[in-house]
Structure 1
Amino acid sequence: MKLKTLLLTAMFSLSMSNLSVAKEVQIDKVAAIVNDGVVLQSEIDTIINRVKSRAKDDSQSLPSDDALRLQAMERLINQELLMQMAGRMGLQISDAQLDQTLMQMAKEQGGTLADLRKTIESSGDNYQAYREEMRTEMTTQQVLRSNVERRIYISLQEIENLLTILDQQGQTNEEYDIGHILIDLPVEGSTQDIEDAKIRAEKVIKLLNEGSEFKRIAIASSGGQKALEGGQLGWMGINEMPTLFAEAVKGKKAGEIIGPLRSGAGFHIIKIQEIRGRQVVETVEVRSRHILIKPSIIVSEEKAKSMLEGFVKDLNAGTADFAALAKEHSEDPGSALKGGEYDWTDPTTYVPAFRDALLSLEKDELSQPFRTNYGWHIVQLLGKRIADKTEIAKRNRAQQMLFNRKFKEESFAWQQEIREQAHIEILADE
């Protein structure tokens, strides 16, 4: 990412009678240098103000402004590193892709894009600024996926072992709502560093056991990625957690504080906030075929969409063959050679926009062009059936659990690595 504006002050000339006075007015200032980018004080203030506003609405107490500033700084440094990586990768989120995501968010909340905008503006936020924050969030998540997924390998033996464990457990439908605090360690921490971190972790546990609010302590003390959200990791099954957590929560009850748990990152403290049964797995399966066109330097967003609109027109008129179009034009290597066909699949495994477009169709009906993270699609529903829970479904679920666990672990490790390689300079307050 290019340097944000480095102009820290501006000079304004003021005429006062016969005396001309130059007054220095501070517009913004750099709080940290991250390689060839910066973190601005205004960005830190925005995060702090939002956390304070949310805490006020929830009647939640917060730690000191210094603690909030540190957490906001850490988040923005990590975000800046990921955005710089996105720039090197040539990764950009288009307006069409952003709008598709926002419309999906609005739909999940039972409203329209206009309703979402109204809600954002009524809360005092600027909608355009919110859009750009969402673009940044989508970009950083894509960078993470692109770089972390290649580090993950799941063997057939691991899947078999997990299937055996799931069968032995009997009760595989439990999910845990987890709160997390990390007392982190320097990369090459000394024995004294480790001892000091352990003492801090034990003090945190003591405060929590005495009734201190978990979210407030997490915001003030945690070095984890979800610190500013009060350490809330959300719901996850025992086989989706990092191995360290999974072993620790077995047999524990809601409300229990667990830790300190030592890992290479530091000392972890977790709280089991709630326990619930896992939802029943969807038994509907669909068979479909699609054509994917990816926007590029040569093919614009508009061109990709218009190409597919032309295909739909020809297909509905009976002047084109779907399989032939897919083999010639589709940029999905997994299905193009098969005429764009996907075999019977649980639709929940598809990205939300593709899943929703597919499930809105009747048998043999063809969709209009729509956008996902992968590009522009048209899809045709070839069939729908109710399927029993098969061994394949169980195996896929086990593989996804292993992937989720490894992704969390590798994501943290990879971000630590790129941070160690970066030039980061925190500028002192004046």
Structure 2
Amino acid sequence: MNKVFTPFLAALLALSTVLVPVTAPAQETTPIDGIVAVVDEDVILRSELDRAVANITAQYANQPGQLPPRDVLERQVLDRLVLSRLQLARARDSGIRVADGELAQAIESVAARNQMSQDQLRARLAQDGLSYDEFRSSLRDELLLERLQQRYVQSRVQVSEAEIDQLLAVREIGGPEVRLANIIVALPDGANAEEVATAQKKARDIKTVVERGDIDFAAAAIRFSDAPNALEGGDIGWRTFDAIPPAFVGLIQQLQKGQISEPIRGPGGYQLIQLVDTREAGVQTMTEFNAQGILIRATPTVPSETARQKAEALRARIVAGEDFGKLAREHSEDTMSRNDGGDMGWFPVNAWGTSVGNQLMQLQDGEVSQPFQSEVGWHIIKRLGSREQDVTEQNRRNQAREIIAQRKAEEEFERFLRQLRAEAFVESRLTGA
């Protein structure tokens, strides 16, 4: 495959953490194109691997020294391609599909993120040597993988209020955040003493060369790490301490920014953790509004114009001095607020819909809106007040729920991937693999 990858094209082809191969068209296959892996009844071609490696290489075009030797990079990328191929097969066997309309929306989103029209996106892809059909195929595969993960974990991950209470009781939620990176030196199952000692020494040697300044941590992760995030420089991202496994919290709290931990023995091998950065979390507030509302529904028997005229008449009576709450009880068709005189309570701006929210933002306290239309009919609202509400505690509970759910989802899906890989027939034909 002689196609040249630009940084723009590489970015488009690396839309997710799972590397999705873009299969070359049949007419581009040459007689020297060989098989680098057999995956169940499917194969991965040398051209596919070269293309995926070229994608990674393009992303590091300005930092080529951070990449490992070609044979190591090929092995890492092939492992990803194999796992991707197995997941795609499982997704299709499970009946997961991506409709053409959904794919079109995803393409539109990609174009928007790159500040392009779809025609400009097509032109740029062609300029960089990738057909539009190839790009669509790659993006469809990515959506399939996302849905496979969502479907698998959705029914298996439940978070109870008791679990949230338990987490909040033992951990500080919403406190300082840390950005972490890691390097893993893997050990095989049932490793003997010599293998353990070798892995531990390798981890210590990596730590030494990084601290000596011979190579930075991200480059070392790309070259030496056996973790799935190796090609991302070992980046784990921002985490609160409550989102970190308890065994590592004390260790990380002792690190200074930029420092690297001693090798830590885990189930899969030895791990080095770097504290990349820290930041403080502040008090979280939300603007809430208090209002009264009247709804006149538009129905097949009450045309929209009739509903508008009734709303206009009611507003005129309110402006003339009649009580808003009394008219709401008598005329409003909003069953949630009618009996309370149209009282909508305190709520975030768009809790009653964007149409109501937009009107609230334009009103002053005590002011009554002109009649306005939503998808259900015509409204009049009176803004009673606004306030800044401290939602730190509410967000802490939501954050705790997300932390527990994310942890369970990751564990479940990692278990699924290990099982998927273990049950598959995979034969690597890379030299030295």
2:97 aligned with 1:92: yes
SS of residue in 2 equivalent to 1:234: strand
CA gap of 1:127–1:77, structure 2 versus 1, over 3 A, is: same
| Structure 2 residue 56 is matched with structure 1 residue 51 | yes
Contact 1:248 1:258 in 2 (8 A): yes
In structure 2, stretches of 5+ residues that fail to align are: 1-22, 290-297, 306-334, 337-344, 360-371
TM-score normalized by the length of structure 1: 0.66
Shift, 1:110, TM fit:
5.2
- Confirm or deny that 1:269 pairs with 2:272: yes
Which secondary structure does the structure 2 equivalent of 1:57 belong to? coil
Task: Report if the CA contact (8 A) 2:57-2:64 is conserved.
Answer: no
Can you list the C-alpha shifts for 1:7-60, whole angstroms capped at 9, x where unaligned?
Answer: 9999xxxxxxxxxxxxxx525222111122222222211121122222123465
Separation in structure 1 between the aligned mates of residue 89 and residue 303 of structure 2, nearest angstrom? 47
How far residue 210 of structure 1 moved from its aligned partner, in angstroms, is 2.0
Give the deviation of 1:96 after TM superposition: 2.0
Counterpart check, 1:132 vs 2:132: no
After superposition, the Cα gap between the structure-2 partners of 1:186 and 1:219, relative to the gap in structure 1 and judged at 3 Å, is same
- Which of 218-227 and 172-181 deviates more? 172-181
Instruction: Check conservation: 2:39, 2:425, Cα contact below 8 A.
Output: yes
Q: How many residues align?
A: 348
Q: What does the per-residue CA deviation read over 1:335-394, in whole Å, with 9 as the maximum and x for residues that have no partner?
A: xxx99xxx999899xxxxxxxx96998468658xxxxxxxxxx9x999998654164433
Distance 1:233 1:266 in 2: 17
What are the Cα deviations for residues 46-89 of structure 1, in whole angstroms up to 9, with x where unaligned? Answer: 12112222212346532210011011011111111111110121
- CA–CA separation in structure 2 for the residues paired with 1:44 and 1:345: 53
The CA distance in 2 between the partners of 1:149 and 1:162, in whole Å, is 21
Which amino acid in structure 2 is aligned with residue 179 of structure 1? A
Q: Distance in 1 between matches of 2:202 and 2:225?
A: 11
Displacement of 1:119: 5.7
Q: CA RMSD for the aligned pairs?
A: 4.5
Question: Does residue 182 of structure 2 align to residue 180 of structure 1?
Answer: yes
Task: Work out whether residues 175 and 241 of structure 2, in 8 Å CA contact, stay in contact via their aligned partners in 1.
Answer: no
2:67 to 39, 62, 66: 62
Asked if the contact 1:242/1:408 (under 8 Å) is kept, the reply is no
Instruction: Show the counterpart of 1:227.
Output: 230
Within 5 Å, give how 1:290-301 maps onto structure 2: none
Which protein is richer in strand relative to its size? 1
Instruction: Name the residue aligned to 2:411.
Output: 409
Once residues 85 and 195 of structure 1 are traced to their aligned partners in structure 2, the CA distance between those partners, rounded to angstroms, is 38
Amino acid at match of 2:40: N
Distance, in Å, in 2 between the alignment partners of 1:414 and 1:347 is 41
Per the alignment, in what secondary structure is the counterpart of residue 161 of structure 1? helix
Counterpart in the other structure of 1:351: none
Q: TM-score, normalised by structure 2?
A: 0.66
Deviation, 1:101, is 2.8
Per-residue deviation, 1:149 = 4.1
Where does residue 35 of structure 1 map in the other structure? 40
Amino acid in the other structure paired with 2:82: I
Structure 1 residues 138 and 414: CA distance shift in structure 2, 3 A: same
Q: CA deviation at 1:282?
A: 6.7
Q: Which amino acid aligns with 2:157?
A: I
Separation in structure 2 between the aligned mates of residue 247 and residue 54 of structure 1, nearest angstrom = 35
Partner SS for 1:258: coil
Among 257, 260, 272, which residue is 2:260 paired with? 257
Q: How does 1:101-112 map to 2 (within 5 A)?
A: 101-108=106-113, 112=117
Aligned mates of 2:136, 2:39 — CA distance in 1: 24
1:395 equivalent to 2:397? Answer yes
Gap change, CA 1:279 and 1:129, over 3 Å in 2: farther
Unaligned segments of structure 1, at least 5 residues: 11-24, 287-311, 320-337, 349-356, 368-377
Correspondent of 1:147 among 125, 136, 152: 152
CA distance in 2, matches of 1:239, 1:94: 39
Over 3 Å counting, the alpha-carbon distance change for 1:345 and 1:135 in structure 2 is farther
Measure, in 2, the Cα distance between the counterparts of 1:29 and 1:152. 42
Q: Distance in 2 between matches of 1:65 and 1:237?
A: 36
Match of 1:238 in 2: 241
Distance 1:9 1:43, change over 3 A: closer
Structure 2 counterpart SS, 1:409: helix
- Structure 1 counterpart SS, 2:66: coil
SS at match of 1:56: coil
Distance in 1 (alpha carbons) for counterparts of 2:171 and 2:102: 38
Provide the rounded CA distance (Å) in 2 between the counterparts of 1:382 and 1:201.
Answer: 67
Deviation at 1:135, TM superposition (A): 2.1
* Structure 2 contact 355–374 (Cα < 8 Å) conserved: no
CA gap 1:225/1:361 in 2 versus in 1, 3 angstroms: farther
